[in-house]
Structure 1
Amino acid sequence: MRFKLSTVVLPSVLLLGSACIVEAPGGTSPEQRRAATVTQIPPLSVRNGANLGRKVELVAATVQPGRLTPGERATVTVYFKVLEALEEDYLIFVHVEDVGGRMERMNVDHKPAGGLLPTSQWKPGETVKDEFSIYIPSNESPKALNIWLGLWDPRTDSRLALTNPDQVRNDGRNRILLAQVPVAQ
């Protein structure tokens, strides 16, 4: 397993929770597209730059609130820049892992943009905003958590390949280390 870590740590809280999965039957309406895309990335976002399959760039992320406390939820917002059209409908996989290895891994796999905008409907040039909630049980108190993510095709059980692994934090298995987040003790 290969880790390429930098000193960037999100100044916010990350953990596991539930993601709202909503189907968008028959295509995305203009209102749904406006709700799922942004024209600007918030200035306090942590920049990333991971390139997935030369089709999508993980541009940045934010986490609120700024410190993870057991028993509370945090909101993670991720921004994907569409470089080329995607034919498949990928899920966003999220793995939350205790850096000490004492907790079981938490999965927050979900459809992008709350299910409003499947990846097969992403248009080049758009920046898609994805938001989900994470939670750590009140009886758990790891020192820190690693938040991994990427795009996954559940039909083929394959991940969209990370094409610039030497430039971003990753584990060599197409999982991007979004952040290492400290947990209040």
Structure 2
Amino acid sequence: MAALGLRRAGPAQSDGAAGRWSRIRGRAGLLAAAVALIAAQPLAKALHDELLRARPTTRVLATEWVERNAPDGARIWLEDGTLILSGRLRVLGGAPVTTHDPAWYRENGFSFLVANLDRDDKDRARLAELGEPLVRFERGGERHGPTLAIYGTGAGDVAQEPRTRLGATLGSGALALEGYRHPGEVRAGEVLPLALYWQPARPLPQDYVVYVHLVDANGAKVAQRDTQPLEGSFPTSRWQPGALIRDDQDLPVPADVPPGTYRLLVGMYDGATLAAINDAGPIDLGEVVVTR
């Protein structure tokens, strides 16, 4: 009987142990699930953040649009550092697009104006003068970034721009200064707007530097500028024969330049040897009156 009792007790004890193990496994499974859920939350956030980074922001979309539509050497007005554009473009600005009127932008050779519409620093009446933007990039949903608008200036064909025709040659006839434009007057301490119109007759072998000198009656320089055409964004070695290229070489005039009448001289030289390539010496662009 005792043996029988022992044999009967065995299965009961076995069932109790199995139940305890089942409960332990159940708790372990719940714990593992909880741990997995906790671990999955930062992973899900990381994946979401990565997806956001993969989506182009308004800045990226606006940058791609400008790069796709602006020709080499184009002047672009940026209100701030919103876009990072390639060196083939000339970027100016740092102030609201309403700082100047549309005619000023056309006169100074700007192709596109990029406005950050989230900035409350613009004259709304003057902004309306720019007309409808060519394109807008707005944030929404999972697209981040400021609301950006890109305006065209209405600048037409360079060949139709008003200018004084010239035709002086450089590089043994390889290049001509076809024309120029400046107002003929500037206040000391300000900038003289100067547009040069170059036209190559054949390919140029290297990248040249433009010089601009403002000289007094004795030939002494009172202001000068030396830089590659189009501020290096479109060097001469890439110019195509027959193309008419506008090159803005605006000249800062020091505040201490005395009032009077001066002459404006320009030319090009080899940056490595400093040898001028003008065929007949400095090219005279006429008188400039400096006032106070």
TM-score, structure 2 as length reference: 0.44
- The answer (yes or no) to whether the contact 1:90–1:154 under 8 Å persists in 2 is yes
Identity of aligned residues (%): 26
Structure 1's unaligned 5+ residue stretches are 1-28, 166-173
Q: Which residue of 2 aligns with 1:131?
A: 248
Q: Which residue of 1 aligns with 2:190?
A: 72
- What are the within-5 Å matches in structure 2 for residues 1-185 of structure 1? 31-33=70-72, 35=74, 39-43=158-162, 45-52=163-170, 53-64=172-183, 67-100=185-218, 104-162=221-279, 165=280, 174-184=281-291
Name the structure, 1 or 2, with higher relative contact order (CA <8 Å, separation 6+).
1
SS at match of 2:265: strand
Q: Return the alpha-carbon distance in structure 1 between the equivalents of residues 285 and 231 of structure 2.
A: 19
- Residue identity matched to 1:96: L
Deviations 1:35-56 (A, max 9, x none): 289641412x111110112111
Q: Return the alpha-carbon distance in structure 2 between the equivalents of residues 115 and 80 of structure 1.
A: 15
Shift of 1:110: 0.5
Q: Which residue of 1 aligns with 2:65?
A: none
Instruction: Answer with 174-183 or 110-119: which moved more.
Output: 174-183
- Residue identity matched to 1:59: E
Deviations 1:67-119 (A, max 9, x none): 22112212111000111100011001112212256x65432011111211111
Q: Return the alpha-carbon distance in structure 2 between the equivalents of residues 89 and 127 of structure 1.
A: 17
Q: Considering only aligned residues, what root-mean-square deviation do their CA atoms show, in Å? A: 2.5
- The answer (yes or no) to whether the contact 1:41–1:79 under 8 Å persists in 2 is no
Q: Return the alpha-carbon distance in structure 2 between the equivalents of residues 41 and 156 of structure 1.
A: 36
- The answer (yes or no) to whether the contact 2:212–2:251 under 8 Å persists in 1 is no
Shift of 1:157: 1.8
TM-score, structure 1 as length reference: 0.68
Please identify runs of 4+ aligned residues in structure 1 that moved more than 2 A.
Answer: 29-39, 103-107, 135-140
SS at match of 2:187: coil
SS at match of 1:159: coil
Count of residues in Structure 1 that have an aligned counterpart in Structure 2: 144
Shift of 1:155: 1.0
Q: Return the alpha-carbon distance in structure 2 between the equivalents of residues 139 and 93 of structure 1.
A: 21
Q: Return the alpha-carbon distance in structure 1 between the equivalents of residues 70 and 237 of structure 2.
A: 17
Q: Return the alpha-carbon distance in structure 1 between the equivalents of residues 253 and 217 of structure 2.
A: 14
Higher Cα Rg, which structure: 2
